[in-house]
Amino acid sequence: APAAATVTQWTRSTCVYCGVGCQMDVGSRDGKVVAVRPAEHPVNHGHLCVKGRYAFEYNHAPDRVTTPMLRDGDGGAWRAVSWHEALDHAAATLRRIRDQHGADAIGVLGSARATNEENYLAQKFARMVIGTNNVDCCARVCHTPSARALKAMLGTGAATNAFDDIEQARCFLLCGCNPTENHPIVGARIKQAVLKGAALIVVDPRRTELAEYAQIHLAVRPGANVLLFNAMAAAIIEEGLLDQHFVAQRVDGLEEFTAFSRAYAPEAVSGQCGVAAADIRAAARLYASSEPAMCFHGLGMTEHTQGTEGVMALINLALLTGNLGRAGSGINPLRGQNNVQGSAQMGCEPATLTGSQPLAQARARFEAVWGGALPATDGLDLMQMLDGAAAGKVKALWAFGYDVYMSMANQHASELAMRQLECVIVQDLFLNETARAFGTVFFPAASVFERDGTFMNSDRRVQRVRQAVPPPGDARPDWWIIQQLAQRMGHAQGFSFDGPQAVWNEVRAVWPAGAGLSYRRLETESLHWPCPQRDDDAHPGTPILHGDSFAGATRARLAQIPYVATPEQCDREYPFALMTGRGLYHFNAGTMTYRGGNAQLQASDLLDMAPADAARLGLADGVRVRVRSRYGEVELPLRISPRVKPGELFTTFHRPDLHVNRLTSPYRDRLAHTPEYKVTAVCVAPV
């Protein structure tokens, strides 16, 4: 309140943290952000969580980098340079690498922190200026499996419903997500709906806060999601709980799926799931008999070797019970970052162009607008880029708004790979761990409070981001930096937009489902795509997908997903299954939230251990323990917590100096390559 009293200007914008996309007013004075207050809006109804409301001090932190910098590849001291020198150096280096090793020796990583317009320009830069489809974003390490599963089965790789529906659901099936901490405004809305009578089923190895409100908590063994959802599907079919009309009208493959599902009867797989058969059946009955039932899922679903397949097994449940195409139903990934949906949707993906349009099918449309030929073959995803670096084939990486090194699983392997790179361009607010360890060029970026554009939240809603204060020193918005580098590499044409609105108009020209999302409309509305252009410029957007078709197809097909155990298994030497995730007070690599008051709310990552395990090992709450996996070791303070089961552990990965990802395994989702952050066999000993 005292800070708010000094505000001289309020600017409406969108929260920079999670994918809920809360609207807020940014209060500024003398060119500084001094307060944030919640806006009345269909997403957040006048509320913000502890991150959105209070974690803005980073914007004016004393170690904010405000000038471009260069250093030699041997990790020497950084030296401040002019934009002219930094851009010329980066352009010459990228040109040399492309000439010597080919365009595919360079990779570009878009950013969930950046706007849609900036991500669009990043992938256009990779494809038109460099000549490679080696472009990806942090969706690779979170919800690419969701997008892939939804696209494969329902035709559109995004959430089926809007947050607006929450109050209409009669039952929630929450799978591998902890919205109380990671999507707090959605978590609060779900809790309110449950307190008013909606049913709640929580599928999570941990007893999360919302699990305490659930009728049924299925504390599944980490890595066994496919088994559990196949068992629920088997129970639904066996007990005649299908939505017969919906299945007859819109679903194919029931007969074959029924035969497939018999091997997954709850009684047959209960032991492997770690869940009683009676509880699996009770959950199947509750989900199938509640109309409508709405599913939300998080990274506890996707960050597994069967991440994509786990989401497909979940989609089967919605198809069998008719929980698609109406308010309060659907399959809804909770996206972790403010614009991770947008960065992939804008084309920061190695095989799809803007609007998730497949490269092979949409190339001609883009070539007509961009005025040049696109590279024809699919590029490398983020994981493959690091593999390519380790093999000496990828030589340069440009990462903006993304601390790759801190975020990647199996950090020692990432380190070895990134050490091979000749050129690492980091574009960020601070010298993050990637910049400290590997950077050769640093471009100082503007923050979300210092630029204009749009974000796309978890439920496909596109919203404006507005500049509230000027960037400090020589910091510049990402769109400006990308254009400057493109121009220095001979591509003035196609990279001379006068601002984000002009970029967005080109996005609308190449993406038919977004053509109706004009800045004029977004000034006063937030709209869900698909929103094609209409003559009256008034398409209402599409909050609910699949009302009468699946992206044009009349029917969807049930997927038979055999369970395949992860290779990462506990044994006598490594007896605990460690899961990693995020907490309430901090965000990802901690770059923003550790620079401000949230650092006092939680000072460190903690290792959660069940009371029985702590007693058996003679460990007291708060002691420092050494956690060792087959891949590395770290030291963490112990927190004795009844939220984890005996034999399982949980920690966050926010503190840059703790490097929790030294522990995580090399295993990846079999289809999307997302790392398996949720199962690592470890042992624990006192320090």
Task: Identify which of residues 18 and 683 has a Cβ nearer to ligand SF4 in the complex.
Answer: 18
| Nearest-angstrom CA–CA distance, 422 and 389 | 10
CA–CA gap between residue 215 and residue 198 (Å, rounded): 10
Nearer to ligand SF4, 325 or 342 (CB): 342
Residue 482 binding ligand SF4, by CB under 6 A: no
Minimum distance, C-beta of residue 36 to ligand SF4, in the bound complex (Å): 9
Q: Which residues, 6+ apart, have CB-to-CB distance to 150 below 8 Å?
A: 156, 157, 158, 160, 311, 315, 331, 333
Does 22 contact ligand SF4 by CB under 6 A? yes
Cβ atoms of residues 265 and 231 within 8 Å: yes
Closest separation in Å from C-beta 184 to ligand SF4:
5
Q: What angle do CA 192, 196, 198 make, to 5 degrees?
A: 90
The answer to the question of residue 17 lying near ligand SF4 (CB under 6 A) is yes
Which region among 69-77, 181-189, 223-231, 424-432 touches ligand SF4 (by CB under 6 A)?
Answer: 181-189
Nearer Cβ to ligand SF4 (22/194): 22
Stretch that binds ligand SF4, among 10-18, 287-295, 527-535, 605-613 (CB under 6 A): 10-18
Shorter beta-carbon distance to ligand SF4: residue 401 or 675: 401
CB of 187 to ligand SF4, least distance (A): 8
| Smallest distance from ligand SF4 to CB 381, Å | 26
Within 8 A by CB and 6+ apart from 646, the residues are 610, 612, 613
H helix runs in 113-243, sequence order: 116-124, 144-154, 179-182, 184-195, 225-238
> At its nearest, how many Å lie between ligand SF4 and the CB of residue 183?
6
Cβ 52 to ligand SF4 shortest distance, Å: 2
448 binds ligand SF4 (CB under 6 A): no
Q: Which of 27, 68, 110, 184 binds ligand SF4 (CB under 6 A)?
A: 184
Of 17 and 172, nearer to ligand SF4 (C-beta) is: 17
Contact with ligand SF4 (CB under 6 A) among 20, 404, 468, 503:
20
Tell me whether residue 185 or residue 394 sits nearer to ligand SF4 (CB atom): 185
Complex with ligand SF4: residue 106 or 584, whichever CB lies closer = 584
C-beta of 17 vs 260, nearer to ligand SF4? 17
- Residues contacting residue 187 through CB under 8 Å, at least 6 positions apart: 178, 179, 180, 181, 209, 210
Number of residues counted as binding ligand SF4 (CB under 6 A): 14
Spatial CA neighbour of 621 closest among 603, 607, 631:
607
Smallest gap from residue 49 Cβ to ligand SF4 (A): 3
Residue window 126-165: x/- pattern of binding to ligand SF4, with contact defined by CB under 6 A: ----------------------------------------
Subset of 44-103 contacting ligand SF4 (CB under 6 A): 44, 48-49, 51-52
Nearer to ligand SF4, 142 or 510 (CB): 142
- Residue 460 CB, nearest approach to ligand SF4 (Å): 15
Q: Which of 130, 150, 159, 185 binds ligand SF4 (CB under 6 A)?
A: 185
> Which CB, 43 or 284, lies closer to ligand SF4?
43
- Contact region with ligand SF4 (CB under 6 A), list: 12-20, 67-75, 432-440, 510-518: 12-20
In angstroms, the CA 480 to CA 477 distance is 5
Looking at 15-23, 67-75, 304-312, 514-522, which segment touches ligand SF4 (CB under 6 A)? 15-23
* Residue 369, H or E segment: helix 359-370
User: Per DSSP, which regions of 451-532 are E strands?
Assistant: 453-456, 461-465, 527-528
Pick the piece of the chain touching ligand SF4 (CB under 6 A) from 179-187, 268-276, 384-392, 538-546: 179-187
Judged by beta carbon, residue 36 or residue 227, the one nearer ligand SF4 is: 36
Q: Is 99 exposed, middle or buried (CB count within 10 Å of its CB: 0-12, 13-18, 19+)?
A: exposed
Structure tokens at 196: 């008013």
Classify 563 as helix, strand or coil. Answer: coil
Residue 183 within binding range of ligand SF4, rule CB under 6 A: yes
Instruction: Count CA atoms closer than 13 A to 422's CA, side-chain side.
Output: 17
- Cα separation of 296 and 98, whole Å? 43
User: Is 18 a binder of ligand SF4 (CB under 6 A)?
Assistant: yes
Cite the beta strand spans of 83-184 per DSSP E: 106-109, 135-136, 171-175
Q: Which is nearer to ligand SF4, 48 or 663 (CB)?
A: 48
Is 43 or 313 the residue whose CB approaches ligand SF4 more closely? 43
Peptide linkage before 637 cis (omega within 30 of 0): no
607 binds ligand SF4 (CB under 6 A): no
The H-or-E segment that residue 625 falls in is: strand 624-629
CB of 523 to ligand SF4, least distance (A): 20
Extract the runs of DSSP E, i.e. beta strands, from 518-575: 527-528, 556-557
* 185 or 241: CB nearest ligand SF4: 185
Please, what is the minimum distance in Å from the beta carbon of residue 310 to ligand SF4? 24
Under 8 Å between Cβ of 135 and 379: yes
Residue pair 275/220 in contact by the 8 Å Cβ criterion: yes
Residue placing its CB nearer to ligand SF4 in the complex, 181 or 204: 181
Q: What CA–CA distances, in Å, run from 133 to 329, 350, 486?
A: 36, 5, 16
CB of 24 to ligand SF4, least distance (A): 7
Close Cβ partners of 92 (under 8 Å, ≥ 6 residues apart) = none
Q: Is 21 in the site for ligand SF4 (CB under 6 A)?
A: yes
Q: Which two tokens stand for residue 148?
A: 């892939």
Q: Does 222 bind ligand SF4 (CB under 6 A)?
A: no
Task: State both tokens at 580.
Answer: 């990693």
Q: Tell me if 26 contacts ligand SF4 by CB under 6 A.
A: no
- Stated as kind and residue range, the H or E segment containing 284 is helix 277-289
* Closest by Cα among 54, 62, 17, 2 to 597: 54
In sequence order, what E strands does 429-566 have? 441-444, 453-456, 461-465, 527-528, 556-557
The nearer residue to ligand SF4, 50 or 565, going by C-beta atoms, is 50
For ligand SF4, the nearest residue by Cβ is 52
Q: Does 15 bind ligand SF4 (CB under 6 A)?
A: yes
Q: What is the DSSP code (8-state) at residue 302?
A: H
Footprint of ligand SF4 (CB under 6 A): 15, 17-18, 20-22, 44, 48-49, 51-52, 183-185
